[in-house]
């Protein structure tokens, strides 16, 4: 599990544009790394729209917003285009990064157990340390909650 005050685990993933994004290359700027279960589902869409609507405020603070889910690059591209998302979405199909951040968990839905993303956000400071770990968040109003703790 990722701990506040410790270095954020570095990773490299493909983006919705097909480019590779490495967390360590973003040093010098705060990063909002949010994990969500699936593109274009109601909760994930609400959460993404919240980050979209507050994007100017994130940019004013110099922050980079990155959304991560197990969906493919193509799915991310469609989701981003459909909802006019001005930030990068990263594909983690093998949930390797989600596992490293401790958000790939067992879920129990209608008596069935499965694995999936625990909707969570990590605010990473300009030095690459986890300033805030927000686990099991609710989509509605989350972008504002993140802004409140952004260094």
Q: Say if 98 falls within a structural domain.
A: yes
Task: Give the Cα separation of 149 and 123 in Å (integer).
Answer: 8
Does any domain span residue 1? no
Is residue 2 situated within a structural domain? Answer: no
Task: Provide the whole-model pTM.
Answer: 0.95
Least trusted range by pLDDT, from 9-18, 44-53, 74-83, 101-110: 101-110
Report the pLDDT value the prediction gives residue 73, as an integer from 0 to 100: 96
In a domain, residue 130? The reply is yes
Measured on CA atoms in the order 21, 130, 97, 121, is the torsion positive or negative? Answer: negative
The CATH number of residue 120's host domain is 3.40.30.10
Question: What tokens appear for 38 in the block?
Answer: 């699936």
- Report how many domains make up the chain: 1
- Domain range enclosing 41: 12-149
Widest distance between CA atoms in the chain = 45
With beta carbons less than 8 A apart as the criterion, state whether 3 and 76 touch: no
Q: 104: which residues sit within 8 A by CB, 6+ positions away?
A: 95, 98, 115, 116, 117, 118
pLDDT tens per residue across span 54-71: 999 999 999 999 999 999
Task: Tell me which residues are annotated as active site.
Answer: 44
83 assigned to some structural domain: yes
The pLDDT of 65-85, averaged and rounded, is 97
- Domain presence at residue 79: yes
Give a yes or no: residue 40 inside a domain. Answer: yes
């Amino acid at each position: 599990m990722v701990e506040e005050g410790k270095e954020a685990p570095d990773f490299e993933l493909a983006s919705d544009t097909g480019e590779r994004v490495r967390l360590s290359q973003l040093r010098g700027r705060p990063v909002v790394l949010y994990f969500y279960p699936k593109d274009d589902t109601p909760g994930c869409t609400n959460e993404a729209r919240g980050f979209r609507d507050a994007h100017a405020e994130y940019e004013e603070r110099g922050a980079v917003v990155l959304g991560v889910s197990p969906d493919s690059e193509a799915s991310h591209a469609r989701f981003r285009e459909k909802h006019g998302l001005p930030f990068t979405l990263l594909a983690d199909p093998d949930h390797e990064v989600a596992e490293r951040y401790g958000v790939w968990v067992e879920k129990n839905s209608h008596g069935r157990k499965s694995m999936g993303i625990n909707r969570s956000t990590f605010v990473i400071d300009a030095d690459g340390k986890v300033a805030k770990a927000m686990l099991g968040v609710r989509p509605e109003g989350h972008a504002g909650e993140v802004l409140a703790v952004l260094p």
